[in-house]
Every structure is written in structure tokens, then in C-alpha cells.
Structure 1
Amino acid sequence: MNAPSTAAPVTREHLLQSLDALLLPEGFKDYGPNGLQVEGRMNIRKIVTGVTASLAFIDAAIEADADALLVHHGLFWRGQDGRIVGWMKQRLSRLLAHDINLFAYHLPLDAHATFGNNAQLAKHLGIELLEGAEARFGEQSLGFMGRRAMPSAAALAEHVGKALARPTTLVAGSDRPIERIALCTGGAQSYFEGAIAAGADVFITGEISEPQAHYARECGVAYIACGHHASERYGAPAVGAHVAAQLGLAHAFIDIDNPA
């Protein structure tokens, strides 16, 4: 068991207000509730961040003496089965038994211009994000446009694979040099057409579905799928570290590997 944190506590409400002020969840039409999803203890000394509120992550956070969890994928989604059985019962019972708060931010965490998943993935990959009117694309402006000159999409895919330490899927539109790069992390296959319209040479996201391979070949715009989880590993710890520094809290990031 880790030693207890010596950081001065802040209240649950204070942490929620700080996260909401940073991520502005009221500005998004999302697939589930953003903010506090499970109420735990009032006083918080340590935040543990991760991608998904899986059982393995929750158990690891308990071992790390977390008072609050901050994740991208929370427990509750629009249209899901509302019964507290099976995996949902196990996850909730752990949180409630240990009196741990669960905060989750989905689209707001993707969209933040500095600490969000897209911005942080671009930083990790050495992609310079554009500014102004051409900087965003797609529904709710979730897609980001950036620039990195590369001799080919294959060279970029190799770079992405090395940076994320996992294989990528590449559908190359051509072998020409590329520079304009569109990013939208996670399961953003539907944003590919918007990236094409925005003038991208290549689109980077987490997943690929059957239609996108045809679009890439027919439109000459390359498509790189680097894994849903792998593309979204960077936003939550960036937000957690920032807010923890603001509030004087301890922070740790726990990455539970996921091949998807």
C-alpha cells in the first residue's frame, strides 16, 4: 500500500468546480453525463487519472490511495442497460465501498485546446496545431488540424507507431509527401469526410471501419488508425496534473493497457 498523501485536502465541490471551469461541459451535446458520476468522500487529497473506469483501473487506484478518479470513459452512457448488475455492480461496489469519487469528461476532454486528448496527442507526435478558422473541423469542432511535413503517409504511420508503442493501421491514399494532418482521437471514423473537406493529407484517429478504406483510396487522403485507447492516453493525465497543481493535490496516472 502506498503511503498516504500529505497534500492539503480540497472539497469534492471545489474539485468539480475547477474541472468544470476548465473543460466547460455545458457547451457539448454528449453521450453521457460529464462531471461527478459517483459521489465519494468530501475531502480530496489525491487524484488518480486514467482512460476508462474499468474494474482493473479502479482497483489500481484504490491501491494508490485515490480519493478521486478522473477518466475519459466513465460508467454511464445514453441508451445503456440501467440495471446495476454484472460488471456495473462490481465497479460501483468498489467505488462505494472505498468512498471514492468518480469524475468523467468525454467530449469536453477531447476538445480542450491545450490539455485535451487531441491537443495532447498532437504534442506527443510532434504535430504543430493550426490556429484560427482552419484549426478545427467536424461536428462540435472536435477535429483538430495540424502540420508536420513527412515524406509519405507510411513514414508518418511508422512515426506514430513508435511514439505510441503499438502497431498502426494505414490506408494510404498515395505515396506523396504530406504536411496537413487532421486528428480526432478515439472512435472518430465518421470525421474522416470532414477531414477530407478540410484539406487534410492524412487523418489520424483511433479506429477504422470498412467505408473509410475506400474513401482513403478514392480521395487520395491517407488514414491512420492507432488504437482507441492509445490515442486517448494523454488528455486525462494532462488535465489531472494541471488541476492538481492548481489546487495543491497529489496526482498519479495509471494506464491499464487495452489492445483496442
Structure 2
Amino acid sequence: MAKLQDIIQWCDQTLAAAEFKDYAPNGLQIEGKAEVNKILCAVTASQGAIEAAIDQGADLLLVHHGYFWKGEPYPITGMRGQRIKTLIKNDISLVGYHLPLDSHPTFGNNAAIADLLELEHLEPLDPNERRPIGNIGYLKQPMSPEAFKAYVSERLDYDAIHLPADKTEIQKVGFCTGGAQDFIHKAAAQNCDAYISGEVSERTFYEAQELNVHYFACGHHATEKYGVQRLTKAISQQFNIEYSYFELNNPI
């Protein structure tokens, strides 16, 4: 058993959450029980994840995509109202970390992608960022675009969408998980051979061609399911409490 506030304080400090300008509040979003015996983590605080937390007796739901995003309407009604009502009724805390969990060099989504793809000599995708959201890494050996598509698809367990460029070999790879397709411009500025993100837009097809950077869309959910698991495992070890992961295979 651990105190909720101790967990939040440890996470906030570990992830340097206060140093990020984000689109939603990082940390505790809905306060439940003061004591935590079990954590359930999930990519998104969907109704399915909330119901799983209830079924598994979790006191805290830790996610990458929480609530209260900039631009959302203030009234707590409809789908979001139902989710929040269910959490409060069952006294379950909701904790969300967005950009800090993309960026962290050990627990982050991008760090996990680098490990899975065995990318070496990591550097920031944007040299001006103190805490980089995206990164650049290098393959041990160059690959053809076709071989790299197969490699990425196998390692990330997702049928990657490849938007081709003219380069015949890939070794220098930029990457940023989730909905960061527009960072392909940053990858081009750093002379990357390829760029990986989660989502893809219609405009990205032309940008890959004209910027001459191979683009690989590997799924928003699929590229961001690692950070919450890494962080929650670390919390479990730090505070000696139980945890589990809820997977709802979102194909987007």
C-alpha cells in the first residue's frame, strides 16, 4: 500500500512534469482513494479501461491520454461525463502523463521505440529542445526502404504504412510517437533518411516525396503503449504495489 500523494510526487519529479508546456494537465486529474493498493495502466482513459480498473480492484488508473484537453468544452456531460462519473463513483484516481511520458529517456514512448528498433547514438529531433519530444537514432547497418518497412512492422507488431521518398537506403531515423506526423519537417532539417510516427495525414504523402524523407506510420496507439507500462512497473517497484496493463487493440 502506498499513499496517492507520494506516488504523484515521485512521478512528477521523475518525469520533470512541470517543465513541459502541454495540451492537458499532467499528474493527478481526478482524486480517488488516499491509499493505493493496485494500479491499472492503459494508453487512454476510455470507458473500457475504467471498467477494467473496477473489475480488477485498482485504486488508480494511470494513462497517457487523460482528460481536460485544451479546447475541450467545459461542461462535464455526455461520454466524458459518464467516464468521470464512473471514476468518482468508484473512488478511482485518474493520473495522466502526456508529453513528459513521450520524452523521458528511460520510461518514455520514444525511448521504447529506440530500444525495440535497436537504434543507436540517440540525439534530439529538435536540437533547440531542452527535453526533446522526438529523437534521432541510427541503424547498425543501412536497410533498403522495403526491408525497413518489414523490420519496423515486425518489431512494433503493426503493419506500417510506408510513404516513399527517393533515398535508396535508410540508416538515420527520426521518430516521435503518436500524432507527430508533422515533425517530418524536423526530420528533413536534420537530414534523416526516414521518419517514424504514429498517425498519418493526407498531406504527409506529399511531404515525404518533396522533403525526400521516407515516412512510416506505425499507429498512434501501437507506438504509445510502452510508456505507461514502463512507468507503472517503476512505480510498482518503487512503492511495492501491484499493477497490470489494460490493452484495447486500437488500430488507429
Judge same fold: TM > 0.5, yes or no: yes
Deviation larger for 10-19 or 139-148:
139-148
Q: Which amino acid aligns with 1:208?
A: V
Name 1:256's counterpart in structure 2: 248
- Between 1:231-240 and 1:170-179, the stretch displaced more is 170-179
Q: Mean Cα displacement is larger for which, 22-31 or 206-215?
A: 206-215
Following the alignment from structure 2 to structure 1, what is the Cα–Cα distance between the partners of residues 226 and 234? 12
Measure the CA separation in 2 of the matches of 1:28 and 1:151.
35
Say whether residues 1:184 and 2:176 are aligned partners. yes
Once structures 1 and 2 are overlaid, which stretch shifts more, 32-41 or 168-177? 168-177
The residue number in structure 2 matching 1:6 is none
Among residues 118, 126, 129, which one is paired with 2:110 in the alignment?
A: 118
Equivalence map 1:71-86=2 (5 Å): 71-86=63-78
Q: Any idea what the Cα deviations from partners look like across 1:34-57, whole Å, max 9, x if unmatched?
A: 100000000001111110000011
User: Hey, what's the Cα distance between the residues in 1 that align with 2:117 and 2:49?
Assistant: 26
CA contact (8 A) 1:129 1:144 kept: no
Separation in 1, partners of 2:7, 2:14: 11
Give the superposition deviation at 1:253.
1.1
Which AA in structure 2 matches 1:156? F
Q: Describe the shift of the 1:197–1:68 C-alpha distance in structure 2 as closer, same or farther (beyond 3 A).
A: same
The correspondence of residues 1-260 of structure 1 with structure 2, limited to 5 A, is 9-130=1-122, 134-137=123-126, 140=129, 141-148=132-139, 149-174=141-166, 176-260=168-252
CA distance in 2: counterparts of 1:138 and 1:94, whole angstroms: 43
Cα gap change, 1:84 to 1:135, in 2 (>3 Å): closer
Question: Which ranges in structure 2 are unaligned for 5 or more consecutive residues?
Answer: none
What's the CA shift for 1:98?
Answer: 1.1
Taking structure 1 as reference, are residues 49 and 129 closer, same or farther at Cα in structure 2, changes over 3 Å only? farther
Runs of 4+ in 1 over 3 A off after TM superposition: none
- Deviations 1:228-259 (CA, angstroms, capped at 9, x unpaired): 11110100100110121011111111111111
- C-alpha displacement of 1:85: 1.2
SS at match of 1:137: coil
**Structure 2: distance between partners of 1:231 and 1:56:** 20
Cα offset, 1:218, TM superposition: 2.0
Contact 1:67–1:101 (CA<8 Å) still a contact in 2? yes
The root-mean-square deviation of aligned C-alpha atoms, in Å, is 1.5
Aligned pair in 2 of structure 1 residues 243, 62: CA closer, same or farther (>3 Å)?
same
Structure 2 Cα separation of the partners of residues 219 and 192 of structure 1: 8
Following superposition, the deviation at residue 69 of structure 1 comes to 1.1
| Normalised TM-score (structure 1) | 0.91
Number of residue pairs the alignment of both structures matches: 249
Deviation of the 1:208 alpha carbon? 1.4
In 1, the alpha carbon distance for the partners of 2:232 and 2:134 equals 22
The secondary structure found in structure 1 opposite 2:84 is: helix
Paired amino acid for 1:165: D
Unaligned runs of 5+ in 1: 1-8
* Contact preservation (8 Å) 2:188, 2:212: no
CA deviations over 1:63-89 (Å, ceiling 9, x no partner): 111111110000110110111111112
1:145-174 CA distance string (max 9 Å, x none): 111134212211212222232221101213
Cα deviation, residue 175, structure 1: 5.3
Instruction: Give the conservation status (yes or no) of the 8 Å contact 1:167–1:226.
Output: yes
